[in-house]
Amino acid sequence: MSRKYRVGILGATGTVGQRFVQLLENHPQFTVTALAASDRSAGKPYSQACAWKLAGSIPEYVKEIVVSPIEPPLDCDFVFSSLPSGIARETEEAFARAGFPVISNSSAYRMDEDVPLLIPEINHEHLGLIETQKIKRGFNRGFIVTNPNCAVVSFAPPLAALDKNFGVESVFVTTLQAISGAGYPGVSSFDITDNVLPYIAGEGPKVENEAQKILGRFTGSAIEKADFTVSAQCFRVDVLDGHTVSVRVKLKRPSTLEDVFAAMKTFPSLNLHSSPEHFIDVCDEPSRPQPRLDRDNGKGMTITVGRLFPDNIFDYRFVSLSHNTVRGAAGSAVLNAELLIDKGYFM
Amino acid sequence: MSRKYRVGILGATGTVGQRFVQLLENHPQFTVTALAASDRSAGKPYSQACAWKLAGSIPEYVKEIVVSPIEPPLDCDFVFSSLPSGIARETEEAFARAGFPVISNSSAYRMDEDVPLLIPEINHEHLGLIETQKIKRGFNRGFIVTNPNCAVVSFAPPLAALDKNFGVESVFVTTLQAISGAGYPGVSSFDITDNVLPYIAGEGPKVENEAQKILGRFTGSAIEKADFTVSAQCFRVDVLDGHTVSVRVKLKRPSTLEDVFAAMKTFPSLNLHSSPEHFIDVCDEPSRPQPRLDRDNGKGMTITVGRLFPDNIFDYRFVSLSHNTVRGAAGSAVLNAELLIDKGYFM
Amino acid sequence: MSRKYRVGILGATGTVGQRFVQLLENHPQFTVTALAASDRSAGKPYSQACAWKLAGSIPEYVKEIVVSPIEPPLDCDFVFSSLPSGIARETEEAFARAGFPVISNSSAYRMDEDVPLLIPEINHEHLGLIETQKIKRGFNRGFIVTNPNCAVVSFAPPLAALDKNFGVESVFVTTLQAISGAGYPGVSSFDITDNVLPYIAGEGPKVENEAQKILGRFTGSAIEKADFTVSAQCFRVDVLDGHTVSVRVKLKRPSTLEDVFAAMKTFPSLNLHSSPEHFIDVCDEPSRPQPRLDRDNGKGMTITVGRLFPDNIFDYRFVSLSHNTVRGAAGSAVLNAELLIDKGYFM
Amino acid sequence: MSRKYRVGILGATGTVGQRFVQLLENHPQFTVTALAASDRSAGKPYSQACAWKLAGSIPEYVKEIVVSPIEPPLDCDFVFSSLPSGIARETEEAFARAGFPVISNSSAYRMDEDVPLLIPEINHEHLGLIETQKIKRGFNRGFIVTNPNCAVVSFAPPLAALDKNFGVESVFVTTLQAISGAGYPGVSSFDITDNVLPYIAGEGPKVENEAQKILGRFTGSAIEKADFTVSAQCFRVDVLDGHTVSVRVKLKRPSTLEDVFAAMKTFPSLNLHSSPEHFIDVCDEPSRPQPRLDRDNGKGMTITVGRLFPDNIFDYRFVSLSHNTVRGAAGSAVLNAELLIDKGYFM
């Protein structure tokens, strides 16, 4: 691990961009060398271009980096992208075509057949799609990999544990999502104080469709999607960080509560720098998980499951939670980059 | 309606008790003549015994009423009860046995076979159970009727509309419940600020069991429960008033979205003093219902439904909302009292 | 009061515009006949142009009114204005010049020497400035009157009571202001959840300067400002409505606590339609006023004062509170219109 | 620093007790060997006795420690106390008399003439009082030292900077205090959601009196209090941690803004383990300090000052903030213990 890779961040001034900056401070494998943001910010030092919204102050190491426009080339080995959906598709392709691996948190390419949608602990073999992608799109050195929607990340891991062991048939999820998921300024305080919003634009379809690809089987050149069905209702609640998901699941094969518990609890983590000690933690206190208390488990990279019980209509019910801007966004992308190094994709 | 009934409130200083006091101010059929509360409060004027927590000041009309101990007889024609579950069972029976009709918001008797669990618009014929009850328990003039759990009230009405027209087979509900449902002091601010609680003690079983009785068929002497199954996960969110419920429902007979919409929208209200113009309101704005904006619909007595769509696993999904301390507690009890008068039970 | 005046609202789709619409429903003296908003809204029915943010639904009476562009003439006798400061100055003058009385909630003209800054209970004689204004600006039928900043309205009334009786020398105010004061979308939820903001752009100078004009003496053609000094620190807190102000005041003449209490409590209200029964209410519960419990006192038009005590540096300290979008905005403007009718300015 | 002191915590299950447990994990100088709490908890392992309310889980190192009753002796070299005021006075004396140094966060002894009220960076020489105390009270090895009220800690440091350089004459403070300051369950969510509380029982006198002792001069055997006057109004706001204080100050000698800024910014920190790099940080972003963003500065031990400007009545105004359960409670007590070691009081 002696070599340090030089990293660019696309969308560096947004809330997820700021998480990238925070997570990459003192990272043993990465050095941030380029920060790209909209024309309004380009040309200014990051400390002036960025209204820092995370706890504490802007890390010293990025203060003087002059923000670049969002176009290739950038002075780096690869890029993290947290671009808004309006421009992500075109821009990310431009970077890939220009030879930059693009590790994206945007939704633009997640469901493209030749683009890996990664949760490294679950489906790192999907990296094989990169070969397919390079051929199909005529990329040379560049490529695109993605991480899932922030709400999907909260329940796909326990689902993977169940699917692998017992087969999943149907899943109802009801999400209670944090305000940071909407970016900044995002949700108006006048809409969420003393309130709940029963609708998040564009969220339902993502939550209903991504897990089947994540849990799909890599055939050597493509992903065969898992065949379960997800029904989603998505709510916004007045919580800063941490998406809580209520889940009911119908399995294909019978299982005991002990086996379900064990399947989740023992799902292995990886040995990458940002891997948490426990990929999935299953707690048995009756009143957990709670976003404020559990979102930072495993430095925000652990999925915390609780209230696991037999259900009276489906087989099991449980509550699953993860930190939506760490495991659900920037942290997942950083883990993907670490995985790519580990698997030799950055040689 | 010329005669005014004289009313006692058991548990008058609690949050639901305060709602009773608020709702009964200037009520054309009722005059509050007795306020009963714990020994700590008994003997003091209500204005001193009660830490008023609703908007505005204590209504003038109750300020000087001296609080009574919670035991019969009280100087009134009947009593509303919002007693804590620990003492409700014994105390409510004592009042009924002493000749007082007890209109209870407590959970103590809700599931007793001979006690009506009323939502007047849905099952006023269940009042016939009072006869059974009087015989079985040897009550003379007194009896007990109840209203449902505050979360159940949010989704039982649209369910009734569906069951009546298409038959209901299975129902998943996920509740986002307001803090006022926990009484006062109830939920610590340190537990709920920037947080969600995934557990409400004792709530799940109530939510899973009450609707079948409410929608049951009165056979002339008993209730034959409806045969659908309800699966519930209950969350507490940082909202003052208004329980929001995410619902998926599987029907017995096919239906179109239009028919489902119409079945809810046209479910008739009653002609009682506290009846709202619309029993169920179905809105089509994508981002409604919201507790802060919709809890006061119909002066807190309307059930507001929204986000009604076909579901990809069950038949339909929707979001349902009601005011948990009005329609979900004191308001329902007052409506029950109006129903009893209307049906001649107070002659 | 038989005649009904025909009213236009400038900035009708904003949060204060919506309050105007709400307060003018069923008003005995006014009928809304024109709603003006930005080009984006103009030409659409109000129900489509406006994202209604107040509790309940858009009042029926305005749903079909087609929104006009913000320029004279409008089909009405006078206009209420809640225009954003960027365009208020020019637009309000255009309406006045075109013959429309402008009753403005904007800050644009508040400190102009010839424009009344009104709290009717305190300084209705300032209406005499209208004559000066018409001459100076060459207005014919039109003119401009204003109401104060929403935070100033919270403490100017008790200050007026003190100044009139004992003379005010110096005042420290520290404000805890509600999020609705920032309009919509206004304050990002990510900025205010679990937080306090120590700065409100542009607010300090308004809070430090307006009270001296409000409490000034009308000389027959001009206002001689009161000569006290106000020091302000302004905070935003996570409260929907209701500005709470911490006040310390140094008086010119000695006074007893009883006299101070009485001076506030007995400050007379007016006999206008929107006048509250009590202009200033002084409560003695130790934990009042609170914004959620007291903002709706007098239908949002009463100023609630509490925690009135001698101070150990200045003479007295107290806490003062009012509803910032009713008494602090739309409600004050409506009261100003009622005053103008009462004093014969709309003949 | 080779030796590790063995530490007991009185009131170990409360919110401040939990902070002690959290801050002492992996502390290089201290090992927790005794946890004392009320009779209800005594005899149980800490993991069962304590409802852990801080983010994350109970530290492993304390889980199996069996909770002791709150009475001497305990198996430790000295004790931290966060006892409730009702029992603190008697119990802390009992421990001191039994030979245990008591480092207390309680208010019981703060204002006793012979008890140091410490902010180590400001008044470590007050430790000299211990000698006086031992003689007066007949203590042998034991003694009592205290740290200030959590709101006082937020503004006493910048005040010390001003007093030392320019002399302080009068100070107005208005506090916006976090809910964690009330302990657990503390403030009911029904009282603080969408609300502000204008009163904190018992807080005003502490805030008005403690700073004069903290900034007092040690004469060799007693403290001569500083002679300025503090006027306080205390509010509770819906913030988890971090007390924000609005300050206006009148100085005895003239000063420039630059000098005031420098006096605060350069106030030296100490070289103890828990000392922050900056004792006082003065920020110049217009919208800082904010509790959510700045409370963790210096791991919760830095005082963050902002909005420093000349005042139009007094000399200067500013906003000061600190973490109320770290610098304002457990963290200050730990720092006091480190100071005592450093000065040789634990030999």
Give a yes or no: residue C347 inside a domain: no
Complete DSSP assignment for A99-118: T-EEEE-SSTTTT-TTS-B-
pLDDT at B347: 65
Domain of B182, CATH number, reads 3.30.360.10
Query: What are B240-268's pLDDT values in tens digits?
Result: 999 999 999 999 999 999 999 999 999 99
pLDDT band for position C274 (50/70/90)?
Answer: very high
Give the model's pLDDT for residue C85: 85
**Residue B2 pLDDT more than 70?**
no
Whether the CB-CB separation of D231 and D248 falls below 8 Å is answered with no
Interface check for A328 against chain B (CB to CB < 8 A): the answer is no
Are both B225 and B318 inside the same structural domain? Answer: yes
D248 to chain C: which residues are within 8 Å by CB? 172, 231, 233
Same structural domain for residues D82 and D223? no
Instruction: Give the integer Cα–Cα distance in Å for B251 and B324.
Output: 27
Q: Where are the alpha helices (DSSP H) in chain C?
A: 15-24, 46-49, 60-63, 85-97, 120-123, 129-137, 150-166, 189-192, 203-214, 257-265, 291-294, 331-342
| Sole residue written with tokens 């995985």 | A339
One domain, residues C245 and C289: yes
Q: Is residue C268 part of a domain?
A: yes
| pLDDT recorded at residue D2 | 62
Phi, psi of B234 (to 5 degrees): -115, 125
Same domain, yes or no: B125 and B171: no
Instruction: For residue C292, give how far its alpha carbon lies from the nearest alpha carbon of chain A (Å).
Output: 11
Instruction: Say how far apart CA C174 and CA A234 lie, in whole Å.
Output: 40
Amino acid A272: pLDDT: 98
d(CA A239, CA A262): 30
Catalytic positions of C are 150, 243
CA distance C302 to chain B (A): 12
- Residue D3: its pLDDT value, please? 82
How far is D187 from chain B, CA to nearest CA, in Å? 6
Q: Does A198 touch chain B (CB under 8 A)?
A: yes
- Residue A347 inside a domain? The answer is no
Domains identified in chain A, total number: 2
User: Does C52 reach chain A within 8 Å, measured CB to CB?
Assistant: no
Are B308 and B338 contained in the same domain? no
Q: Among A293, A294, A302, pick the best mutation site for testing chain D contact (most D Cβ within 10 A).
A: A293
Q: What angle do CA D335, D203, D295 make, to 5 degrees?
A: 45
Based on the number of CB atoms within 10 Å of its own CB, is D7 exposed (0-12), middle (13-18) or buried (19 or more)? Answer: buried
From the list A55, A193, A295, which residue is nearest D293 (CB)? Answer: A55
Longest alpha-carbon distance in chain A = 60
Task: For residue A33, give the nearest of A66, A11, A7 by alpha carbon.
Answer: A7
What pLDDT score was predicted for residue C2? 63
Quick one: average pLDDT of A228-249? 98
Amino acid at C331: G
In a domain? residue D32:
yes
The dihedral formed by the CA atoms of A81, A87, A88 and A90, expressed in degrees to the nearest 10: -120
Do B192 and B76 lie in a common domain?
no
* Closest to C320 (Cα-Cα) out of C270, C257, C247, C258: C247
**CB-based contact D199 C307, cutoff 8 Å:** yes
Q: What is the pLDDT of residues A114-123, one digit of tens each?
A: 999 999 999 9
In a domain, B35, yes or no: yes
Q: Does one domain contain both B334 and B282?
A: no
Residue B236: pLDDT band (50, 70, 90) is: very high
Residue closest to A144 by CA, chosen among A107, A113, A116, A106: A116
Interchain contact, C313 vs D231, CB within 8 Å: yes
The C-alpha R_g of chain D, in whole angstroms, comes to 19
pLDDT > 90: what percent of chain C? 96
Contact call for residues B300 and B53 (beta carbons, < 8 A):
no
Question: CB contact, 8 Å: D287 with chain A?
Answer: no
Burial class (CB in 10 A: 0-12, 13-18, 19+), B6: middle
For residue range A310-336, list pLDDT tens digits in order: 999 999 999 999 999 999 999 999 999
C298 inside 8 A of chain D by CB: no
- Return the SS3 of B17: helix
Does the beta-carbon distance from A238 to C186 stay under 8 Å?
Answer: no
- Tell me how far apart the alpha carbons of residues B157 and B168 are, in angstroms, rounded to a whole number: 12
Nearest CA of chain A to the CA of D54: how many Å? Answer: 7
C-alpha to C-alpha distance for B178 and D189, rounded to whole angstroms: 10
Beta carbons of D274 and D340 less than 8 angstroms apart = no
Residue C27's Cβ-side half-sphere holds a number of Cα atoms within 13 Å equal to 26
Put simply, whether C60 touches B (Cβ < 8 Å) is no
Work out how many CB contacts closer than 8 A connect C with D.
118
Residue A2: the pLDDT is 62
**In this complex, do B287 and A317 lie within 8 Å of one another by their Cβ atoms?**
no
B204: phi then psi, degrees, rounded to nearest 5: -50, -55
Question: How confident is the model over C71-81, as a mean pLDDT?
Answer: 97
Q: How far apart are CA A148 and CA A73, in angstroms?
A: 26
Q: Chain B within 8 Å of A55 (Cβ-Cβ)?
A: no
**Alpha helices per DSSP H over D38-146:** 46-49, 60-63, 85-97, 120-123, 129-137
- Indicate the SS3 state at residue C320: strand
| Interface test mutation site (partner C, options D195, D197, D230, max chain C beta carbons within 10 A) | D195
D177 part of a folded domain: yes
* D145, D158: one domain: no
CB of C221 less than 8 A from some CB of A = no
- The pLDDT, as a whole number, for residue C346 is 84
Encode chain D (347 residues) as per-residue pLDDT tens digits.
Answer: 468 999 999 999 999 999 999 999 999 999 999 999 998 999 999 999 999 999 888 999 999 999 999 999 999 999 999 999 889 999 999 999 999 999 999 999 999 999 999 999 999 999 999 999 999 999 999 999 999 999 999 999 999 999 999 999 999 999 999 999 999 999 999 999 999 999 999 999 999 999 999 999 999 999 999 999 999 999 999 999 999 999 999 999 999 999 999 999 999 999 999 999 999 999 989 999 999 999 999 999 999 999 999 999 999 999 999 999 999 999 999 999 999 999 999 86
Whole-number pLDDT of residue C237: 98
Which residues have C-beta within 8 Å of that of residue D187, sequence separation ≥ 6? Answer: B188, B189, B190, D179, D197, D236
Separation between Cα atoms, residue B173 and residue A311, nearest integer Å: 12
Residues A112 and A162 both lie in one domain = no
Is D50 part of any domain? yes
Residue A303, domain extent: 150-322
Whether residue A1 has pLDDT greater than 70: no
Instruction: List, in order, residues 6 or more apart from D278 with CB less than 8 Å away.
Output: D269, D297, D298, D302
Residues D158, D290 within the same domain: yes
Compare CB distances from C55 to B53, B240, B292 and report the shortest one's residue. B292
Contact C198 D287 (CB under 8 A): yes
Strands D5-10 and D30-36, by their bridges, are parallel
| CA–CA min distance B248, chain A (Å) | 9
Where is B34: in which H helix or E strand? strand B30-36
The answer to whether residues B63 and B107 belong to one domain is: yes
Q: Does B15 touch chain D (CB under 8 A)?
A: yes
**DSSP code string of D18-57:** HHHHHHHTT-SSEEEEEEE--TTTTTSBHHHH----SSS-
How far, in Å, are B27, B28, B32, B101, B141 from residue B1 at the CA level?
11, 8, 17, 19, 21
Predicted confidence (pLDDT) per residue in A135-188, tens digit: 999 999 999 999 999 999 999 999 999 999 999 999 999 999 999 999 999 999
CB B319 within 8 A of CB B242: no
Q: What confidence score (pLDDT) does residue B85 get?
A: 85
Q: Encode pLDDT of B160-200 as tens digits.
A: 999 999 999 999 999 999 999 999 999 999 999 999 999 99
B306 close to A (CB below 8 A)? yes
* Chains with 3 or more CB pairs under 8 A to chain A: B, C, D
**pLDDT value at position C17?**
96
Q: How far is D109 from chain C (nearest CA, A)?
A: 24
Q: Are D339 and D85 in contact (CB under 8 A)?
A: no
Residues of C in contact with B292 (CB under 8 A): 55, 240
In a domain, B347, yes or no: no
On the question of pLDDT at A292 being above 60, the answer is yes
Whether residues D119 and D156 fall in one domain: no
Closest partner CB to A238 (pick from B172, B238, B244): B238
User: What's the confidence (pLDDT) of residue B213?
Assistant: 98
Split at pLDDT 50, 70, 90, the class of A347 is: low
- Condensed to tens digits (0 to 9), the pLDDT of residues A35-87 reads 999 989 999 999 999 999 998 889 999 999 999 999 999 999 999 999 998 89
Segment B313-329, tens digit of pLDDT = 999 999 999 999 999 99
CATH number, domain with residue C43: 3.40.50.720
Percent of chain D surpassing pLDDT 90: 96
